[in-house]
Amino acid sequence: MKQLVSFFLSITVFLAASSCQTSKPTVAKVDKKEPNLINVGNSAVSIGEFKYVYEKNNANDSTAYSEKSVREYLDLFTNFKLKVEEAKSKGMDTTKEFTNEFAEYKKQLSKPYLTESKVTEELVKEAYERLKEEIHASHILIDASAEASPEDTLKAYTKIQEARTRALAGEDFGKLAVEFSQDPSAKQNKGDLGYFTALQMVYQFEDMAFKTPMNQISPIFRSRFGYHILKTYERRPSNGEIKIAHIYLRADGNKDSLLIQNQALEIDKRLQNGESWDKLCAQFSNDEKSKNSGGIIDQMFSSGMLVKPLEEISFGLKEIGAISKPVKTVYGWHIIKLIERKPLAPFKDIESVLKQRVSKDSRSELNRTFLVKRIRKDNNFEENPKNKLYVFSKADSSLVKGVWNFNRADENLPKTLFSINKTPYRIKDFFANIEKEQQNKPNIAPTQYMENLYNQYVETALMDYEEAHLEEKYPEFRYLVNEYQEGMLLFKVMEERVWGRGVSDVQGLEKFFEANRDKYKWENRIRASIYTADRASIIDSLKAEMGKDYIEDVKAKFEETVFKPKSTTLTSAQWQSLSKIIEVMKKDSSAVLEMRSFYVQGESNGLVQERIDLIKSYLTSVGIAEKKIAQKNLGLVKDTKNAVLSYIIYANTKNLILTKFNQYNPLALQFNEGLFQKGDHKGLDMATWEIGTYTIKEGDKYHYITIQEVQPNRQKELSETKGVVISDYQQFLEKELINELKKKYAISIDENEVKKLIKK
């Protein structure tokens, strides 16, 4: 059984999702008062409310309504109500912060109830049928906003009409798009939109595209962007759904992005050379959920569910088992493998997803139109035509300038403009709304703008009225709203008495820890460093490098100092180039510089040493220790006219080892270090847990392990397990709180009603 507290804590996290997925219930009036099941303090819980919450949390429980299940849940629910009663007694539900937050939640919860179910169902079914196909089309757009003046609207319509007439006469549609279309992309694509399907364009455009026969020109139609015509070319079946696997390399701000790219390219190279997908996935993918199961993502994807680069490359794979080239997204680098392809899912399987998409699509405007029409009828909307005409007569040029105001002494202000269920909405209310909502609209006639504002005001009034009476019409909405409100109150009580105190009460936490020290223990642990490779030869080379005092820094490349024969003079640019060496040396205290000299015919060893001493003197003058500078004479060079000093940096850091081994293959050698317990690392578990070095073969992997310290079993200090102790302390505080509240508030449960709930 789900924990009731956990359920209420999850409310705010999943608010948006749950409000979108909640289906609109049937209207049901509650004339008969339901009996109460529980009384806690001054609050009562009806049978209906308890059943609503119980069934919501036990929908898939085969033991639902058994005596054990009911009584366990009743106990949890009573404890929950005790905390809510405590919050109310402290006035937590009356603060401005709470009321504002709750009002916003309630508005979100009301959204599924403020929709026209039948219209939504028809639009969802239509969208599904259209998703079975993709259409290739081009279009021409002439800008015309909804608020364009009649003159501008006529000009736009005349222009699109001319384009259509010429297209029907046989002129090339692409050339006409370049000439006429005000879509910014038309100059490049000649109006060609490629293939698209349902839910990818504004509804008016999609609707016309699917209704226009192939190779025909559509009638003129209008969307919020303006006037359109389109030409269709062909239809093809949809891409359907695919299942994919991936090797994923996560974007990491601490890593060089080029390094991640090189790793992806190296994996791609090894896949092309025939290495196992599963092996490479398990070894290198950053998707912990899928890496050990071949990278398979356990869901099907259809168009629109993947980010664009992944969608294009995934649907572009034709054969099962085909593998893509590496592709970059905002999340990192991916290599995709096609696992399964199947046609569009059955309607019932994706109906809920389609409902969400339709609710956010432009076709939702149709739903709102039908909804407002229904609310007008259901709530006895009545207009006063005479007063409406009077209101419109007050429109003047100041309205479209956004500075209109009304005469507060006007005797008509108290008159009713319209009513909803006999609730009057007066002229003064509308005029006040105009003053608040008006904007500068220079391209629209004053009377037209007044009518627009009136229609918006009426629609808002109808929607607000419906929303305000939802709890009367829908009992389950009333329960849901109450559930959210009480969940918020629970959170506030728990934050004050349990969660917050569990973190801030330092003395109480320490006292609790001391009383329960035996619960918090470390098992045997070791401090170790682990190098991992997929070839034994790499581990052998690693051992050789680890035996050296210093390792060459292969990333530190410096410009050589070139001397003319028998010269010890440096140019200003050569002196400047030495600053890079100084920068590296100062950053790494372990770094050592080796200067290597090459001399030419006719030069002496003394001259070579003079050059070295010159540069060494400069380096020591800027703070580089002389003991950190070494030299090596490489002798005579016959095939060049100039003598050279080259530079190599050596150091003893672990990073240099990784850089050296991974300079040509970014995946050659991996490194991990820290404190480990049994089970943390498979290769480490195979070693003898004693100080020393170990070479371990684990499956296809080779590990070189150094154990520096073995820590025996011991009790943990508070600092080492503070998070766990805080959690335990919070549970302790919650039990104390429940015991306190049970003494503070009277609890009564109607046993007769409980027995009615239990199903044998």
- Compute CA 720 distance to the chain's CA centroid, rounded to the nearest angstrom: 33
* Average of per-residue pLDDT across 537-544: 91
Residue 411 has φ and ψ, to the nearest 5°, of -70, -15
Q: Is the pLDDT of residue 28 over 50?
A: no
pLDDT(267) > 70:
yes
Q: Tokens 């804590």, residue?
A: 9
Average the pLDDT over 303-318 and give the result. Answer: 79
CB atoms within 10 A of CB 650: 19
Q: What are the start-end ranges of the E strands in 352-475?
A: 382-383, 416-420, 423-426
Under DSSP, the state recorded for 518 is G
Going from N- to C-terminal start, the domains of the chain cover 133-237, 241-343, 360-470, 521-548+664-715, 551-651
Report whether CATH 3.10.50.40 matches the domain 133-237: yes
> What pLDDT digit, counting tens, does each position of 375-423 carry?
999 999 999 999 999 999 999 999 999 999 999 999 999 999 999 999 9
Looking at the DSSP bridge assignments, the partners of residue 710 are 526
> 551-651 maps to which CATH number?
3.30.1330.60
Residue 138: per-residue pLDDT = 94
CB proximity list for 540: less than 8 A, separation 6 or greater:
none
* Residue 217 DSSP label: B
Q: Give CA–CA dist 302/299, Å, rounded.
A: 10
Nearest-angstrom CA–CA distance, 187 and 174: 9
pLDDT tens digits, one per residue of 183-201: 988 888 899 987 788 988 8
Check pLDDT > 60 for residue 20: no
Rounded mean pLDDT of 583-601? 85
Token code pair at residue 429: 């209310």
pLDDT of residue 308: 67
Residue 31 has pLDDT above 80, yes or no: no
Mean pLDDT, to the nearest integer, of 258-262? 86
Average pLDDT over residues 328-340: 92
What is the Cα–Cα distance from 578 to 624, expressed in whole angstroms?
Answer: 12
pLDDT value for 523? 86
Whole-number pLDDT of residue 120: 82
Please name the fold of domain 241-343.
Chitinase A; domain 3 (3.10.50)
Q: Which residues contact 359 (CB under 8 A, 6 or more apart)?
A: 20, 115, 120, 367
Evaluate if residue 351 carries a pLDDT over 50. yes
CA–CA distance from 433 to each of 86, 148, 187, 369, 404 (Å)? 41, 23, 44, 22, 11
Instruction: Supply the pLDDT for residue 430.
Output: 96
* Residue 304: pLDDT band with limits 50, 70, 90: low
Tell me which of 3.30.420, 3.30.1370, 3.10.50, 3.55.50 is the CATH number of domain 521-548+664-715.
3.10.50
CA atoms within 13 Å, Cβ hemisphere of 236: 8
Does position 29 have pLDDT exceeding 70, yes or no? no
| Beta-carbon contacts of residue 263 (< 8 Å; ≥ 6 apart) | 249, 284, 333, 666, 667
Q: Give Cβ neighbours of residue 697 (< 8 Å, ≥ 6 apart).
A: 536, 703
Q: Which of 646, 702, 412 is nearest to 534 (CA)?
A: 702
pLDDT bracket for residue 32 (50, 70, 90): low
Task: Give the least confident one: 264-273, 275-284, 289-298, 584-593.
Answer: 584-593
* Token pair listed for 10: 């999850």
Global pTM value: 0.53
- Determine the Cα–Cα distance for residues 477 and 25; give it in Å rounded to an integer: 9
Cβ–Cβ < 8 Å for 524, 678: yes
Instruction: Tell me 33's DSSP state.
Output: P
Range from 326-340, 410-424, 578-592, 692-706 carrying the lowest mean pLDDT? 578-592
Q: Which helix (H) or strand (E) holds 620?
A: helix 605-621
Residue 19: the pLDDT is: 38
Angstrom CA distances, 343 to 297, 304, 321, stand at 18, 15, 18
Amino acid 567: pLDDT:
86
Place of tokens 């209906």: 48
Are both 133-237 and 551-651 of the same fold? Answer: no
282 Cβ contact list (under 8 Å, min separation 6) = 291, 292
Token pair listed for 555: 């990333």
**Dihedral sign, CA of 432, 435, 438, 442?**
positive
CA 269, CA 262: separation in Å to the nearest integer?
Answer: 10
Using the 8-state DSSP alphabet, how is residue 292 labeled? G
Q: What are phi and psi of 288, to 5 degrees?
A: -65, -30
Instruction: Give the CA distances from residue 468 to residues 251, 324, 429, 474, 484, in Å, rounded to whole numbers and listed in that order.
Output: 48, 54, 18, 12, 17
Listed residue (197, 233, 453, 475) closest to 315, CA to CA: 197
Q: Do 488 and 105 form a contact (C-beta atoms < 8 A)?
A: yes
